[in-house]
Each structure stands twice: as structure tokens, then as C-alpha cells.
Amino acid sequence: MAAPPPPPPQWVIDLNTPPAARPKSAGIVDPPGYTASSTGSKARSPKQVSSKTPARAPPTTEEMDVLKLKKAWEVALAPVKQLPMTAIMMYMSGNSLQIFSIMMVLMAFKNPFMGLMATNQAFERFESKGTRAKLIMVKGVYVAMQILALALGIWKVNKMGLLPTTRSDWLAWETVRDPMEIAIPAF
Amino acid sequence: MRLPTNLLYLTLSILPSAFAVFADEAYNVDYHYELLGIPQPHTTFFHRPRKDEKATLLYTLSDLGVLGAVNPGVGNVVWRQFLGQDAHSETGFLRPVEGENTVVSAIGSSVNAWDAMSGREIWGNNFGGAIRDLEVLETATGNDEARDVLALFEEGGNAYLRMLKGTNGDVAWEYKDGSSDVPLQVSTNVRNVFVVSLHGSSGGYNLKVTILDPVTGKRTNEYTLTTKADIYAPEDVLLVGANSAAPIIAWTDKPMKNLKVNILGKTGDIQNLPLKESDGEITKVALHAPHLVQSLPHFVVHSHSDVSNRADVYHIDLSHKSIKLAYSLPKLPGQGAISVSSQDANVYFTRHTQDEVVVVSSASHGILGRWPLKLEKGRGSFVHGASEVVQRTADTYAVRSAVVTTDQDWVLVRNGAEGWSRLEGLSGIVAATWAEIPESESLAKVLEVEAESNPLSAYIHRVTRHIDDLQYLPDYLQNLPKRFLSSILPGESAPQKQGVLARDNFGFNKLVIVATQRGRLYGLDAGNQGSIVWSLGAFEIPAGKKWDVKGIWASPSKGTTTVRGAEGEFIQVNTTTGETIASTTPGSAPVIQSTVVVDGPLQKWLLPIGTNGEPGQVPAVLAPKEYLVVQGKNGEVKGLKFETKGDVANPVVTWTFTPPADHRVTGVVSRPAHDPVASIGNVLGDRTVLYKYLNPNIVLVTTVSDEASLASFYLLDTVSGDILYSTIHEGVDTKQPIASALTENWFSYSLWADITPTTDALPASKGYQIIISEMYESQIPNDRGPLDSVPESSSLEPSDIPNAEPALPHVITQSFLIPEAIGHMSVTETRQGITTRQLLCTLPSSNAIVGIPRTVLDPRRPVGRDPTPAELEEGLYRYHPVIEFDPKLILTHKREVIGVKDVITSPAILESTSLVFAYGIDVFGTRVTPSFAFDILGKGFNKLSLVSTVIALWVGVVVLAPMVRRKQINGRWMA
């Protein structure tokens, strides 16, 4: 008669079931619904886990497209959400040329530019057959928002007097009128 | 091991000077010749400033009216007083008060007594008329009261002799000579006062001697000497011995055969002393006699012929009142000078000849001292001098003489050796100009030669040239550490090689060519503390006259300087060496009133303008294309244009500006020839632009009316003759100086104005004022006026509409009160006109030059309110009616620069810097940076710390780099 196989040695058991990770500070009870063995026992009893949370039906393509579009809208509108904050900081930082305001102006130009350059990359994730047509509008809004941010930067530069918008900025290119006659003083 | 010790020694030898006090720029960039003018023979003497002091000072009243005391030991000026500024006649008198701390001067109409030590005025008194002679009255008894002064005046055709009290200068008595005789001199012995005057008419004079009582001033006697055949002018009388025991009067007959002498007080007695002719006719006779009562009554007659000079010593017998020849000094070739000095009763004559100095006593012909003459360089021959003889022991003597030479230097000769010399000939400059040092052309020429020859020979030529250059390598290497150290160590500017004229990188090395009123030309090196490079006697100007230089122009292309005088004389010299290239004598060309540098089709040249502003006909090849602006006979301003007809060009008057009736033109100024403008508009605080009115063809004419106390200023367009702007000031003192300057788009002028009852418009003020006006194309910002932005403008046809009005500038004016009168105004010039201009004003009353910044003189400063932020951004601050001449604005700082007539400026290569040269009696030069030295490291920049920081960092890197590398490698093994 065949004897039942001997139980696996202790080290095999230990190897298969490593002790659950203990929190560093002992004495804190796990929150309700947390199963300490979930990670450790996942391999051993997958059925148990799946049986606890009912399996969700995978989303359909349409649903996915809607979700992607939502996400895309969020991305498109992200730059404008920072604008009030940036505007306030710009307003507060004054119009003098200091390291702080210069850095801020640099950022105000760099970010929209980088954003505009990476327009397609930003929406690559949401690209699919269904969303492609709708994404164009989203992209348009995204570009508009970036331009808005850029405009804020330009407004700031203008406030700082760095834009050649006045007559004095072009004074160096204006020339003095040449006199057609010359008179030499001789007294 | 040789090199390190050498280096160590070099470093140590440099260290002490490197850590000395940093010299400020004062006394470093500026230079000053403290001048007196040429000392006059009768007003130069040695005198003890204090009775009990042994050392003497040398006093003189020069031909320019500068009274000064010079330390005879080193030749520096102890004190100076400028007396000639009000005096119209330049003959002054200066007498020491023997045994007192005073010298007494008289010039023009005033008599002053000065403290001999400090130069402070003790008393002064002013009279009408002009001074003719001055004498200190000797008293017989040695009482302690200050000695009285006799002053002879000519006033309204009458002679007045006034005795002034020695304590306060008040008149003790006055004697009026009712006749219309010409007062000549006053002389005293202890008992009597003698007034010598010329009696008769200009056809020949008799000498009249009036004898007065010194206590009451009453006339005691009078006699006349018949001299009609000999004396035609006051200059013909040689000498009236002053305060000697037996004063004499002497003159020569016309052919200079006999000397005629009258001992004053001996009626009708004329003694004939024959003048011995040795070789050729005698051309000049001079008499020298002691000026002290206690001195022996001896005198010397010094006669010159063209080639030699000799002297006779005469003694006066007091009891018989007779004159007899004592001995003669031998004839010696060339010119010489004899001076008299007396010590107690002894009288010494010092004779300066071409190669020795001889001292003799008046009593006997034995030579007391003889020294060979050792001068540092050729200075010409001696003209006259003052000397001091000191008896050291029983038979050793020492002598020092201050002698004026024909090169117009004032040299002190101490026992035959040159003690010091003063360049008094440099005083009294009438014209000056800047000149560039010509570039060394040798290298350029060599390169040109190489470029023209064939490649192989050019290559060989170049290789040989470089091998030749190797001989300079050791020298170069030797100088390298020195150059390096001198460039990094503070306080030590690279010392310039003496006698080498070379341009520098900053453009500070420039020459100034000056012409003096005595007909001499000098070349000064402005980059080397104004040292004299060359000097030249251009023309002999007779005494009492001034060389009237009308034009001086240094041609940069030819390296020559041309000077034109009023009487048609002309001299052309090499700018760097002073060699005469060409010259004509006075009178050989028509009289001219001014000159102008014109650009003819062939070349630039100096066009002389004749009287009444007529340049006359010129050859067509030289005729300038431009219009000329000249002044006419009565000061009216005229525009001229040359019209070519065949081979000649004739000037045609295109317009004339005549001042209103009873006004006269006192000044015309134009923009400087070099007047670049970097920015054509003023940027306002809100970043709009006010466009400057930049017309190069404008002049500012000043006219005054003496009767109505008015001063008017007219801004004229010099092409069309249009009046662009005019203003009138009431209550102006027309006797006070009115200075004006015009540059860029602004002009300024200064005057003395009073509040008049008729002024009602503006709050008027009384005092010296400076008025500044800025001209703009339009009063509206961002507007270029009626001409808008057309690229070319014509003053004759301002727009397409026929007979249109000219575009008038919009003028903004502001006036400021200043503490004192401004004698002359000029503006700084820089290379590109980026630097703001500074107004340089001479202040005659404080002997200084002030540089007023334009930010102070801004007519747009807000009046009666604080500036807005926009105005603050422009640098405008609140108007304050008074400009104080802050000592920081005074360019001359502690120096006293007297008699400045004109200030000329020149741009350096550095944009920030303008070179300034002021001349007149004194010479002063400096560099100014109106917008601060923004393009050069200042003296305060610590190059040493910069270099040591770099070295320390380098050492740190060298030391730390292996350590860090080792640590990194170790770190990798540890991990």
C-alpha cells in the first residue's frame, strides 16, 4: 500500500508561503476588509479572490472612446487651469528685471512652446478610430489654451517693457535729416 | 638659481610703492603751468618778506599784470595776485618798502600794498586817471612808522601827485600840476620830491622838473631843461634815479653819441658823458642805479651795439654835484644783462655775458667773483635780470640772478649754474589748437612695399625683416615682467618714455599747439602732463603790442600747423618738431579779421577772411562749395556763397543779419566742428520720443544795447538767414561778461540781470543767471514736426510749397541763478556723442573752471512740484532756482588758474573721455568724463585681487583635483 506522500519539508512550505509583510510598527490593526494574505495567497487561491469581487465586464469600444475623449478634454484644458495662478504670480512679481521675474517669464514662454510642439504626443494615447475625428476639436482647444498661456507671457513681457512697441524702441533706426546745404562759420 | 632671486628682488622692490596710498586722479591726469608773465626790468627784485628774516623772495609784476612772489631757491610761486584784469594799460609799478613786510604795486588806476610774505592785501586805493609812476618815500630818520607812498597820476590831461599814507593808503596831500605837461616820473632824495614831466608838444619835449616839499606837498622850485632836440616821446628818457642820495635824470642825444645827465635839483646843469663806440653804432643804452638812499651814488651805463656790449661806471660827487667816470667794463661780444644790487652802502654790479657771470663793486674795477656760465640747454641770450649779491667772507661773494632770456624763459643763475627756469614765455596764449600725433608710417610703408613686389622676394623680405626684429626680443622679454606688473599693480600708470611722441590706445596723447601774444609758438604734449615738446619764436612782436592771431589750424593729413595773424603774417610749422616750413612777414598780405578751414575741391585749407568779412577772390580750384558765415564791419552777420566764374570764384552775399538800432553784436557762437549726436531724440518716461532739432547750420548771435540795458539772443539759420528763435532780457548789465555756447540741440548763455519795473510776466531775479534752452522739432512727443521723416532737408526750400516758412524749433527754456560771473563757456566733445555733454565755464573771480552737468541744467525739470515716476525715470528732479558751484564740480580743484581766456576740448578714442585744455595767462589741462568712465577700469579697480583670486582658484584646483580623483576611485572600491 502506498503511503501518502510525505508532507513537503518545512523549507518548501516557507519558500511557497513567505510570511506576510508586517507593518514596521506592530500593534496597528489592519483596516477592515484588508486581507493580509491577499498578496501571498493570490497564487494559491485565485478562485477565492475572484469570487469575492465579481468580475467586471470589459468596457466596450464605444465606452472606451468616450472615456478617452473625457481624458483628452482634461489634458486639453489642463494649461488653462494654471493660468489664474500664473497671472497672479506675474502680477505680484513686478515689472523690474530680476532673476525671479526673468525665470518666470522664461517658463511662461517655454511651457506653452513645449506644449505646442508636443501636441500630437499629448493626445497619442487617446487616438483611436472612433476618437480621431473628435480629437481634432480637442486639439484645437488645447492649442488655443496654450496660445492663451503664451499670451499671458507676452503680456508680462510687455508689462516689463521688453517688447519694441513704442517709438523709442525704433529710435536707433531713425536717422537725422541730412541738410542739403552746409554753412561754415567763419568769425 | 639666478632667475628666482632676480624675480624675488623685483617683486620686493615693487611692493612698497604698490601698497602706497592710491593717488587720486587729481594732480595725476591734470596739469597746470602756474605762470606770471615776462618779468619787467623795473618791477623785478629780491626783497626780504620779513625784516628779521634772512631769506629773500623774488618779486615781480609782469607784463600781463600778474604780481607774484617766487621762491628763489626752487622757483615755485609762493603767491600770486592778478591785477591786470581791470587795467587797460599794462604798465605797472612795483616797489619794495625797504625794511618792511610790504610791497607796493600800482597798475591802471589803483595802488595796493601787499603783505610780502602771504600776498594778502594790506590796503588799496583807487583813483581816476592812470598811474604814471610810484615811489616809496624814504625818511631820513629811522622811525618805525610805515613809509608813505608817492603815486603820480595823469588824469584828464593834468598831472596829480598824491602822497598816500603807508598805514592805510589814505591821501596825505595832493599836488596838482595845472599845466598840460605829460607826467613822467617821480623821484625823491630825503629832502625833496622831484616830479619830472615832459613840457611842450609832440614835436619835441623839454624836461620840466618840479621840486616839492615832502611834508606839505607845496611846490618849492621848478626848472626846465632844454631837450627839444633829443626827446620826442616818454620812452626817450632813460632813467630817473629813484630813491638814491643823488637822483639823476638821463637821456641820450639822437645819434646816441652822448649821454646827457642832470642831477635832480641842480638847475640848468646838463652834463655830457660821451658814449664810446667800439664796433658799429650803439643801438641800445641802459642805465642802472641803486634804489636805496644809503647806497653810494654810483651808476652804470650799459651800451649795446649790434654785436657787442660794454659798460661804464660813473660816480657822483655829492658835495660838488659832479659826475666822473670811475672805470669801464670791457667790451664783450653778444648781448648781456647788467643788474644792480646793494647791500648797505655797497653797490654791486652783476654782469651776465654769454659765457660767464661777473660781479664787480661799484667802487673799484676789481672783479669780486667770476663764474663760468653753465646752462642746461641753450636758452638764447640774456635780456635783463635782477640779482642779489651776498658777501660770504671778506673776499668771497655769492650771487644769484633771475634773468629773462631771449627765449622768454626766466632763469635763475646761481654762481653761474642754472638753479631753475620758468617757462614764462608760455603765458599770455592767444590761440591754441589740438593736433593729432601723426601715426608712425614706417611699418605701413614696409607692408606696402611687400605687397607690391613678387611673392618670392616679398617672402624673403619678410623673413629677413622678422629676423631683424629678433634683435628686439631680449629687450622685449626683459620688459615683459615689468609691463605685466605695472599693468596689474594699482596706482602705477605705465610711465611714458620721455621725448617719444606716440599715440596711445586711449587717445589721450595729443599735441596742443599754442601761440602767445609775444609771437612764440609752443607744442605741448597733453598726454604727458603738458610737457613742452618744442618752442619757436615765430615773429618779433614789439613791446606793448600783442600778436593778434586770427587762425591756427593743425592739418591732420599733412602734419603741419598753420598760424595766421591779423596783419597778414603767416607761418607754417611741422606739428611734431616745430620746424618752420614756410612763413611770411607782417604786412606782406592784406589785413584779415578771421580765418576758416574750408574744404575746397582739391584740399582742405585755411581761408583768410579780410576786413568787413570779405574773403576776396579765390581760385576756382580752391573755392569751397559750402556757404560761409562771416561778420561784417559793425558786427552784422552775413552769409556768403562762392560763385565760380571761369578760373576764379567770387563771394556773393546771400543774406545779412543786422541787429536792431542801438544794439551791437557782442558774440556769435556756432556748433563745434566735431559735434556728433548719437540719439536724435529724447526718450521720455512713457517711452515716447521728443525729437531733437538737429540743424548743423545754426548760430547764436548775442546783441546788447548799452543804453536800454537789453541783451538779445538770436538763433539764425546760416543758410537761409532765417531767425529761428529770439529772446530778449531786460535790466542786463552789459559791462558784465555775457558768455554763450551752442551744441547738439541746446544752447546756454549767462548774464547779469536785474529786476526792472517793467518786467511783469515772470518772477524776475537779480544776479548772475545761466539760461539753458533746448530745441525740439515739435512739442508733441513722437512727432517729427512739419518736415516729418523726409531724409533730406533744405533750409532754402523747407517744403514743396513755394516760399514756405522754415520749420521752427520748439524751444524749452529755464533759467538758474549762479553765484558768480562766467567768463567763457564751452562744451565737452566726445568721439561719438553718446556721452552727455558737460558745460565748461570759466570763473574769473574764483580763478577756476567749473563743469556743470547737463542733468542739473535741464530745462524740463518740474517746477514747483515733485517729479512724477515717469519723470523720475528720465532722471528729472525738482527744479531749484539756484545752482551752487559745488567744489566737486570744479575741474581745477585746488589749483588757481588765472586769466583763462578760452577752453578747448577734443575727443579721445575712449567714448567716455574728453580732453580739456584751458589757456590765457595760465595753462591748464585735464580729462573729463561727464558720464563717468564707463569704458575704462578706474584706479580703484583692484587688479591685484582679481589676479590673486584667479591664481588662488587655480592653485586650489591643482591641489584638490588629485585628491578628489583618489577619493572617487576609493569610493568605488568601498561600495
CA-derived radius of gyration, chain B: 34
* Minimum-distance CB partner of B594 among A171, A175, A187: A187
Residue numbers of the domain that contains B969: 942-975
Please check whether residue A148 lies inside any domain of the structure.
yes
- Structurally, chain A folds into a number of domains equal to 1
Please check whether residue B88 lies inside any domain of the structure.
yes
Residue A130 has pLDDT above 90, yes or no: no
Question: Cβ–Cβ of B791/A168 closer than 8 Å?
Answer: no
CA distance between the termini of chain B: 49
Residue B27 has pLDDT above 70, yes or no: yes
Per-residue pLDDT of B530-558, as tens digits, reads: 899 999 988 888 877 889 999 999 988 78
Per-residue pLDDT of B55-85, as tens digits, reads: 899 999 998 889 999 999 999 999 999 987 7
Please check whether residue B506 lies inside any domain of the structure.
no
Dihedral angle, C-alpha B891, B893, B896, B900, nearest 10 °: 0
Per-residue pLDDT of B895-952, as tens digits, reads: 899 999 999 999 999 999 999 999 999 999 999 988 888 888 777 778 889 999 999 9
Residues B802 and B791 in one domain: yes
Q: What is the pLDDT of residue B11?
A: 40
Stretch B34-43: mean pLDDT: 90
Please check whether residue B548 lies inside any domain of the structure.
no
Q: Is B220 helix (H, G, I), strand (E, B) or coil?
A: strand
* Minimum-distance CB partner of B629 among A169, A174, A187: A187
CB < 8 Å to A161, chain B: 687
Residue numbers of the domain that contains A140: 61-162
Residue B812 has pLDDT above 90, yes or no: yes
Q: What is the pLDDT of residue B758?
A: 67
Please check whether residue A32 lies inside any domain of the structure.
no
Q: What is the pLDDT of residue B966?
A: 94
Of these ranges, B16-20, B191-195, B692-696, the one predicted with the greatest mean pLDDT is: B692-696
Asked if residue B100 lies in contact with residue B146, where contact means CB atoms within 8 angstroms, the answer is: yes
Q: Which residue of A has its CA nearest to B592?
A: A187
CB < 8 Å to A182, chain B: 625-627, 696-697, 719
Please check whether residue B57 lies inside any domain of the structure.
yes
Per-residue pLDDT of B854-865, as tens digits, reads: 999 999 999 999
Residue B828 cell numbers, joined: 565737452
Residue with more model confidence, B544 or B221: B221
What is the Cβ-side half-sphere exposure of residue B734, based on CA atoms within 13 angstroms? 18
- Structurally, chain B folds into a number of domains equal to 5
Residue A45 has pLDDT above 60, yes or no: no
Please check whether residue A23 lies inside any domain of the structure.
no
Q: What is the pLDDT of residue A50?
A: 47
Confidence band for B821, pLDDT divided at 50, 70 and 90: very high
Q: What is the pLDDT of residue B67?
A: 92
Stretch B156-181: mean pLDDT: 86
Asked if residue B488 lies in contact with residue B943, where contact means CB atoms within 8 angstroms, the answer is: yes
**Distance between CA atoms of residues B374 and A132, nearest Å:** 110
- The dihedrals phi and psi of B845, each to the nearest 5 degrees, come to -80, -25
Residue B611 has pLDDT above 60, yes or no: yes
CB < 8 Å to B624, chain A: 184
Residue with more model confidence, B822 or B799: B822
Residues B122 and B133 in one domain: no
Residues B786 and B900 in one domain: no
Asked if residue B900 lies in contact with residue B925, where contact means CB atoms within 8 angstroms, the answer is: no
Residue B335 has pLDDT above 90, yes or no: no
Asked if residue B770 lies in contact with residue B748, where contact means CB atoms within 8 angstroms, the answer is: yes
Q: Which of B79, B98, B126 is the last residue of a domain?
A: B126
**Letter string b/e over residues B173-193, b meaning 16 or more CB atoms within 10 A of that residue's CB:** bebebeeebbbbbbbbbeebb
Please check whether residue A108 lies inside any domain of the structure.
yes
Q: What is the pLDDT of residue B700?
A: 95
Per-residue pLDDT of A51-70, as tens digits, reads: 556 667 777 888 888 888 88
Q: Which of A159, A163, A174, A187 to mutate to test the interface with B (most CBs of B within 10 A)?
A: A187
Please check whether residue B59 lies inside any domain of the structure.
yes
* Minimum-distance CB partner of B793 among A171, A180, A183: A180
Stretch B198-204: mean pLDDT: 76
Question: Cβ–Cβ of B719/A166 closer than 8 Å?
Answer: no
User: How far does A86 lie from chain B, in Å, by closest CA?
Assistant: 27
**Letter string b/e over residues B115-145, b meaning 16 or more CB atoms within 10 A of that residue's CB:** bbbebeebbebebebbbbbbbbbbeeeeeee
**Least confident residue range of B277-281, B396-400, B783-787:** B277-281
Q: What is the pLDDT of residue B915?
A: 94
Residue B604 has pLDDT above 50, yes or no: yes
Residue B267 cell numbers, joined: 638847475
Stretch B252-269: mean pLDDT: 81
**Cα separations (Å) of B505 from A141, B383, B813, B914?**
62, 44, 40, 14
Q: List Cβ<8 Å contacts ≥24 apart for B80-86.
A: B80/B34, B80/B36, B80/B119, B80/B896, B80/B898, B81/B105, B81/B114, B81/B119, B81/B121, B82/B847, B82/B898, B82/B899, B82/B921, B83/B107, B83/B108, B83/B110, B83/B112, B84/B108, B84/B899, B85/B844, B85/B899, B86/B110
Contacts of residue A51, defined as CB under 8 A and 6 or more positions apart, other chains included, come to none
Stretch B496-507: mean pLDDT: 71
**Distance between CA atoms of residues B100 and B139, nearest Å:** 13
Residues B148 and B195 in one domain: yes
Question: For chain A, how long is the longest CA-to-CA vector?
Answer: 144
Q: Which residue of A has its CA nearest to B632?
A: A187
pTM to 2 decimals? 0.85
Helix (H) or strand (E) holding A143: helix A132-159
Question: Cβ–Cβ of A183/B598 closer than 8 Å?
Answer: no
**Distance between CA atoms of residues B641 and B386, nearest Å:** 57
Please report the DSSP string for B545-594 in residue order.
----EEEEEEETTTTEEEEEETTS-EEEEETTT--EEEEE-TTSS--EEE
Looking only at the bridges linking them, the beta strands covering B746-753 and B723-730 are unpaired
Question: For chain B, how long is the longest CA-to-CA vector?
Answer: 130
Stretch B128-150: mean pLDDT: 77
What ranges make up the beta strands (E) of B268-381? 271-274, 282-288, 298-305, 308-317, 322-333, 337-343, 346-352, 356-361, 367-372
Q: What is the pLDDT of residue B763?
A: 60
Residues B21 and B153 in one domain: no
**Least confident residue range of B8-22, B866-880, B944-958:** B8-22
Residue B569 has pLDDT above 80, yes or no: yes
Residues B18 and B112 in one domain: no
Q: Write out the residues of chain A at the interface with chain B, using a CB-CB cutoff of 8 A.
A: 161, 166-169, 171-172, 174-187
* Minimum-distance CB partner of B677 among A172, A176, A182: A176
Question: Cβ–Cβ of A185/B791 closer than 8 Å?
Answer: no
Stretch A158-185: mean pLDDT: 87
Residue B615 has pLDDT above 50, yes or no: yes
Q: What is the pLDDT of residue A54?
A: 63
Confidence band for B499, pLDDT divided at 50, 70 and 90: low
**Distance between CA atoms of residues B749 and B725, nearest Å:** 14
Q: Which of A177, A178, A180 to mutate to test the interface with B (most CBs of B within 10 A)?
A: A177
Stretch B414-431: mean pLDDT: 91
Residues B689 and B787 in one domain: yes
Stretch B821-843: mean pLDDT: 93
Q: Which of B247, B274, B301 is the last residue of a domain?
A: B274
Q: Is B793 helix (H, G, I), strand (E, B) or coil?
A: strand
Question: Cβ–Cβ of A166/B696 closer than 8 Å?
Answer: no
Residues B262 and B139 in one domain: yes
Please check whether residue B621 lies inside any domain of the structure.
no
Please check whether residue A15 lies inside any domain of the structure.
no
Residues B668 and B809 in one domain: yes
Q: Roughly what angle, to the nearest 10 degrees, separates helices A132-159 and A99-117?
A: 160
Please check whether residue A141 lies inside any domain of the structure.
yes
- The dihedrals phi and psi of B172, each to the nearest 5 degrees, come to -85, -50
Residue B597 has pLDDT above 70, yes or no: yes
Residues B926 and B967 in one domain: no
Question: Cβ–Cβ of A179/B628 closer than 8 Å?
Answer: no
Question: Cβ–Cβ of B680/A166 closer than 8 Å?
Answer: no
Question: Cβ–Cβ of A177/B792 closer than 8 Å?
Answer: yes
Mean pLDDT, rounded, of chain B = 85
**Chain A with chain B: Cβ pairs closer than 8 A:** 101
Residue B274 cell numbers, joined: 660821451
Question: Cβ–Cβ of A185/B596 closer than 8 Å?
Answer: yes
Confidence band for B738, pLDDT divided at 50, 70 and 90: very high
- The dihedrals phi and psi of A124, each to the nearest 5 degrees, come to -60, -40
Please check whether residue B20 lies inside any domain of the structure.
yes
Mean pLDDT, rounded, of chain A = 81
Query: DSSP assignment, residue B386?
Result: E
Q: Which of B62, B94, B126 is the last residue of a domain?
A: B126
Question: Cβ–Cβ of A179/B689 closer than 8 Å?
Answer: no
* Minimum-distance CB partner of A182 among B626, B689, B791: B626
Please check whether residue A40 lies inside any domain of the structure.
no
* Minimum-distance CB partner of B626 among A161, A171, A184: A184
CB < 8 Å to B607, chain A: 186
Residue B710 has pLDDT above 70, yes or no: yes
Question: Cβ–Cβ of A176/B680 closer than 8 Å?
Answer: yes
**Least confident residue range of B7-11, B186-190, B874-878:** B7-11
Residue B681, exposed/middle/buried by CB under 10 A (0-12, 13-18, 19+)?
buried
Q: What is the pLDDT of residue B60?
A: 93
CB < 8 Å to A158, chain B: none
Question: Cβ–Cβ of A167/B688 closer than 8 Å?
Answer: yes
Residue A38 has pLDDT above 90, yes or no: no
Please check whether residue A177 lies inside any domain of the structure.
no
Q: What is the pLDDT of residue B534?
A: 92
Looking only at the bridges linking them, the beta strands covering B219-225 and B204-212 are antiparallel
Residues B669 and B810 in one domain: yes
* Minimum-distance CB partner of A166 among B609, B687, B796: B687
Residues B736 and B712 in one domain: yes
